[in-house]
Amino acid sequence: MKQLFRLLTLAALLSLTLPAKAQLVSGPRGYDDFKIGVAGYTYRSYDIDQTLAFLQSMEVKYLSIKDWWLPLDSTKEQMDAFKAKCREYGVNPYILGPIYMRSEADVDRAFAYAERYGADVFIGVPTYELTDYMIKKVKETGIKVAIHTHGPDGQPFPNIQKVVEIYKDPSLGIGCCMDLGHSVRMGEDIVKDIKKYKDWIYDIHIKDESAASKAGQTWEMGRGVMDFRPIVKVLRQIKYKGVVSLEFEKNGNNPHPGVAESIGYLRGVSDGTK
């Protein structure tokens, strides 16, 4: 009996000291089919080196570029140096904008800027009066425009429906940078809109909101009112190949903790959603 007791005690001790078989990830992660980026406005209080260091720390590989880092009058040489700096951090500066355009001169400057950069598309916010001139410039240059939606806050294009109403034909080369946070603030069915207007969507800005109304404010993803699981699912269904960029408007002077939390949450949702 004593011998049996000793054997049982030894077995118990061994079970405490021997490591269990580790549970390791096998195969691709669920977010590998998503290009997750960050919208430049998120790091509006930081220079490009600090911003790139933040992205590198999260292994985020895509950044939309605002003109406070790369002014609209930048030369091609300055642009090439800027892109080289981004590559040093493993970041693709994949798109320019949003660029606001309120006159034909603004449109000319924006397209010339994108052309020097070597871009085939940029994010823009034109006025309605510039519609014909925008179509003309896209036809002349071959550079497409993704019009950023701004929800119920008074900008010309509150939602993707307005882009479709004004430009009518997606083959014109003027589509949408669809801001999903602003969509929920408009009370819209995001999944339905993504399915219906998939041919218009060139880029996506993603964020959570504190309320599904005009009063809604950017919140850390997973803490707000939005359910991202059906959004991830529908983006897979339509085989969206563009970038999904977090635009974190909260805590402009110290956004990084919220950005890191949100990026982690988006990856987790993408990993767990089929």
Q: Where are the domains of the chain?
A: 30-272
**Per-residue confidence of the chain (274 residues) as pLDDT tens digits?**
555 445 445 455 545 554 567 778 777 776 777 899 999 999 999 999 999 999 999 999 999 999 999 999 999 999 999 999 999 999 999 999 999 999 999 999 999 999 999 999 999 999 999 999 999 999 999 999 999 999 999 889 999 999 999 999 999 999 999 999 999 999 999 999 999 999 999 999 999 999 999 999 999 999 999 999 999 999 999 999 999 999 999 999 999 999 999 999 999 999 888 7
Q: Residues 31, 60: contact at Cβ < 8 Å?
A: no
CA torsion sign, 237 to 241 to 242 to 248? positive
- 32 Cβ contact list (under 8 Å, min separation 6): none
Q: What is the model's pTM?
A: 0.90
Q: Residues 188, 250: contact at Cβ < 8 Å?
A: no
Alpha carbon distance 95, 147 (integer Å)? 12
Q: CATH number for the 30-272 domain, one of 3.20.20.150, 3.40.1190.20, 3.20.10.10, 3.40.50.300?
A: 3.20.20.150
Residue 27: how many other CB atoms lie within 10 Å: 6
Q: What is the pLDDT at residue 8?
A: 47
Q: What is the pLDDT at residue 20?
A: 60
How far, in Å, are 178, 182, 183, 227, 264 from residue 239 at the CA level?
Answer: 16, 23, 21, 20, 22
CA torsion sign, 244 to 264 to 98 to 216? positive
- DSSP letter assigned to residue 255: -
Q: What is the pLDDT at residue 6?
A: 55
Q: What is the pLDDT at residue 226?
A: 97
Q: What is the pLDDT at residue 15?
A: 53
Q: What is the pLDDT at residue 9?
A: 54
Q: What is the pLDDT at residue 1?
A: 53
Phi and psi at residue 82, to the nearest 5°: -65, -45
Question: Which of 45, 66, 44, 48 lies closest to 56, judged by CA?
Answer: 48
Alpha carbon distance 59, 143 (integer Å)? 29
Q: What is the pLDDT at residue 16?
A: 52
C-alpha count within 13 angstroms, C-beta hemisphere, residue 55 = 29
H or E element in which residue 176 lies:
strand 174-179
